[in-house]
Structure 1
Amino acid sequence: MSHKPNTSTENLRNLTSKFEGQNSYQVKKILNDAEDFLGAPYKLGGTSKSGLDCSGLVINVYNENKVKLPRRSSDQALQGKKIEIWEAKPGDLLFFATNGNGVVSHVGIVKEIKNRGEITFIHASTSKGVIVSSLNEKYWNKAFLFAKRVL
């Protein structure tokens, strides 16, 4: 029996984007670089394809593209411009409180705005390594705090 993410909209916040434009060259490069890490294992403090954590993925991808960010997700959350979720577009950063206390503890990179504004993001999951998830998944919907634009 395969486990599918819970994408039921019951009791979920409407975390959708209205973005319908084209991605810039810089955003395409960032997303391509992030996608190169898909399948890499999770490793706390790691920053390479042999293992990395959520903020390690972000700094690796953005530093490669000449955007300097701090190492920790809580410090990355202080960078850039806070945006409303409906303004989110590929390349923006999403911040989450995965520990239940409302404090930033996780970060992901917006990958795509799908049908009806569904936001997907690339991130390093502690259990699955680098994967693509959706803000429509119950866990991520409830943990979502805010979005930032650093480009």
Structure 2
Amino acid sequence: MKQRVVLLISIITFIMYCFFKTEKKQSGNKTPPLISLTDKVISIANSYNGVPYKPGGTTSKGMDCSGLVQTSFKQINVLLPRSSSSMSNKGKKISTDKIKLGDLLFFNINRLKGKINHVGLVTNIDNHNIYFIHSTTSKGVITNSLNDPYWKTAFVKAKRVLN
């Protein structure tokens, strides 16, 4: 009889230990998942969607393409040069099949001066369709696809400034 009581107490103790250990693990997971720098910079850039174009602009009252990118990265403590041409010298060059979220796309728009004169930030990739946010003179801050014939023709290179 004594052995049965000891066995019963042991079993109850073991069950309670397992129950509280599991409950502690589940309640201990209340920490929200960490947000990556890539997610942060994309979120920041997207918050400027619809802001009108302004040459040299870096605020919600008006932005140009490099102002959008520089301002977005500055808010995650990544400092980039002010011009798209200078930005294109930073980071690691990547091929189009290696483009990831947060990468920068550089363009040569014929009507502007310079081999690199426009920049956008990759915000989404869907079925090999690369979307990027940028600021245009006609529509302000918008998102376009790199598959659009206009942007595909103007595309020069992609760079990664975040690891």
Give aligned-pair identity as a percent.
50
Residue number among 61, 64, 82 corresponding to 1:71 in the alignment: 82
Asked if 2 retains the 8 angstrom alpha-carbon contact of 1:102 and 1:145, the reply is: no
Per-residue CA deviations over 1:77-121 (Å, capped at 9, x if unaligned) read 000000001100110000000026770000000011112x11000
Measured after TM superposition, the shift of residue 126 of structure 1 is 1.0
Confirm or deny that 1:49 pairs with 2:27. no
Once the two structures are superposed, the pairs formed by residues 59-138 of structure 1 within 5 Å of their partners are 59-99=70-110, 103-115=115-127, 117-138=128-149
Bigger CA radius of gyration:
2
1:20-68, CA deviations, whole angstroms, 9 ceiling, x for partnerless residues?
xxxx611111111000000000000000010010000000000101110
Cα RMSD over matched residues? Answer: 1.3
Q: Distance in 2 between matches of 1:38 and 1:83?
A: 26
Moved runs in structure 1, 4+ residues, more than 3 A? none
Q: Quick one: distance in 2 between partners of 1:72 and 1:28?
A: 23
Of 20, 30, 45, the match for 2:41: 30
Alpha-carbon distance between aligned partners in 2 of 1:25 and 1:83, rounded to the nearest angstrom: 20
TM-score, normalization by structure 1: 0.81
SS in 2 for 1:30: helix
Q: Which residues of structure 1 form unaligned runs of 5+?
A: 1-23
1:84 maps to amino acid = S
Query: What SS is found at the alignment partner of 1:124?
Result: strand
Indicate if the aligned counterparts of 1:99 and 1:105 stay in contact, CA closer than 8 A.
no
- Out of 122-131 and 96-105, give the one that drifted further: 96-105
Using the TM superposition, give the Cα deviation of residue 148 of structure 1 relative to its aligned residue in structure 2, in angstroms: 0.1
- Structure 2: where are the runs of 5+ without partners? 1-34
More contact order relative to length (CA 8 Å, sep ≥ 6): 1
In the comparison of the two structures, how many residue pairs are matched?
127
The separation in 2 between residues aligned to 1:73 and 1:102, in whole angstroms, is 10
Please give the alpha-carbon distance, in whole angstroms, between the structure 2 residues aligned to 1:47 and 1:132.
17
